[in-house]
Structure 1
Amino acid sequence: MRAPLRIAVLEADTPIPPVDDRYGGYGGVFTSLLKSSAKALNKPEQLDPENGLVISKWDVVSGTEYPKLENIDAVLISGSKHNSYEDIPWINRLVEFTQHVLAQDRVRIVGVCFGHQILGRALGVKVGQSDQGWEIAVCDMDLTEKGKEVFGLEKIRIHQMHKDIVHSLPEGVTLLGHSPQCAIQGMYSPRRFISVQGHPEFTGWMENEIISLRAKMGVFSEDQAQEGLSRVNNEHDGVSIGTTFLKFLLEE
């Protein structure tokens, strides 16, 4: 039997209270996704769906400790309400740690939304606000030929919640997909990293809670909120994307 896959989830934010209460942080959200994805993978000889994942959680916002690379096989950088381009201590530490992981060739990286942008920043490209504004709820991600090969799909439907983007593709990195509002929806380097701008870990319930709260806060107009809420429960490929993450981490 293969040894468990040790994944360190770097929690770059705390979910809004209803989500936090249900899942216990983004580590819990991703644990739920990855366990469902391990079952969907249905390859117990490669990954035991019950005992094949060892997931640790690291608060990188208020904490300063990071996992030792010899104790893990992968890091997963979560989404966040914070801006990936800010020059503040905890984000700078996260960028430096990401560069530390990129400098070796065993531990792999999965980046999601903010994590996708942190990966871009660590690779030396500009990250920041998009002039296209917010992309929210379930949206289509058009795949490149490599994206179709990696995900095993012709197109991806994925929850979105962002107005920041990776502005250009880092040198030597493969583009996985794009959308009308975001030219770099996914990045890939074999046996090194994979990232998506969207949120495969989100559910319709989570998006409903987030959009509703942000509408009350004035982040979204009533029209924006209603348009997004009309799509939150559309079918999406979150578990399939999670399965792709696991295949990437298991690849010899």
Structure 2
Amino acid sequence: MVNLIPKSPENELTNDQLLEETNRVLGKGNGKKQGKRFAVLLCADDSEYVKKKYGGYFGVFVRTLGEEGESWDVYRVAENEFPKEEELGMYDGFVITGSCSDAHSNDVWICKLVNLLRNLDSLKKKVLGICFGHQILGRALGGKIGRASSGWDIGLRTINLSSSSNKFISTLKIPSTLNIIECHQDEVLELPPKVEVIGRSNKTSVEMFRYGDHMMGIQGHPEYNTDILLHLIDRLLQKNFIVDAYANELRAKFMESRDPDKEAWRKLCVNFLKGRL
């Protein structure tokens, strides 16, 4: 577990710059009282590129969701690093990341994560699941996860927020349709009755769901930018998940598309995670 809030870099940061920015955001050395505490449950390995440019996916998430004075930790659950049960109470919320693994598999760490999420549900902890995190959260709540019948969804997708979500997001003053970057081949196929679907697209029927006022899943990636997606397309090609022709098509199509609504997604995620909705 590490604690860090890195700067959003256009270029590689030195360790000294990273430490200086971390101390500034966390308010260390200025007498400020430390605020809320959150944990990222990291479900993927960082590529060398993402580590070098963004401080890993943990850095990407914290720059999207973190605010000054907060404390953020990371647990590399895909490497079997989990918070202890007695540590759960000290966190105000948890974020589950994307992954190359299948949320419907029975790998040891995935089953352990399902159990952890059920425990967090019983504690009514705030939990935000992104992509794989959205799927594994749906599984933990009793849903069915599997391969999407329509295949991969990579690129920009328009999400239609449901009319029932209007009350949920009315205070945020954001549009009822939002563009988001997607990169997945699995999806939530079925959710239990008490889970409310609050976002759909023309490709995926469960783009967003909400469970009570403490758990929310988003199939897309509010934390991604164009650079990260293009890097992921290259990684998927190298791992033979997709073929050259499809990769070239994706690059061309995405470069011609509109920008994702990153600020609206950030506002939605931050306000949910921090109990302002």
Report the TM-score, using the length of structure 1 for normalisation. 0.87
Match of 1:13 in 2: 44
Match of 1:124 in 2: 142
Structure 1: runs of 5 or more not aligned:
36-48
C-alpha distance in 2, partners of 1:162/1:224?
14
SS for the counterpart of 2:46 is: coil
The answer to which of 22-31 and 108-117 deviates more is 22-31
Please tell me whether the aligned partners of residues 200 and 242 of structure 1 are also in contact (alpha carbons under 8 angstroms).
yes
Structure 2: runs of 5 or more not aligned:
1-31
Of structures 1 and 2, the one with the larger relative CO (CA 8 A, separation 6+) is 1
C-alpha distance in 1, partners of 2:167/2:51?
35
Deviations 1:66-116 (A, max 9, x none): 1522110001000000111111110011000000001122x2100000000
Please tell me whether the aligned partners of residues 199 and 238 of structure 1 are also in contact (alpha carbons under 8 angstroms).
no
Match of 1:141 in 2: 159
C-alpha distance in 2, partners of 1:230/1:150?
36
Provide the aligned length of Structure 1 versus Structure 2: 237
Match of 1:165 in 2: 187
RMSD: 2.0
1:89 matches 2:118: no
1:199 matches 2:221: yes
1:114 matches 2:138: no
Deviations 1:30-78 (A, max 9, x none): 011114xxxxxxxxxxxxx422x21110010113331522110001000
Q: Call closer, same or farther: CA 1:191–1:4 in 2, change over 3 Å.
A: farther
Please tell me whether the aligned partners of residues 10 and 59 of structure 1 are also in contact (alpha carbons under 8 angstroms).
yes
Q: What amino acid is the match of 1:157?
A: N
1:242 matches 2:266: yes
1:69 matches 2:100: no
Q: Call closer, same or farther: CA 1:2–1:184 in 2, change over 3 Å.
A: farther
C-alpha distance in 2, partners of 1:211/1:242?
23
C-alpha distance in 1, partners of 2:156/2:46?
19
C-alpha distance in 2, partners of 1:239/1:113?
18
Deviations 1:120-160 (A, max 9, x none): 11011111111110000111112211345545322110010
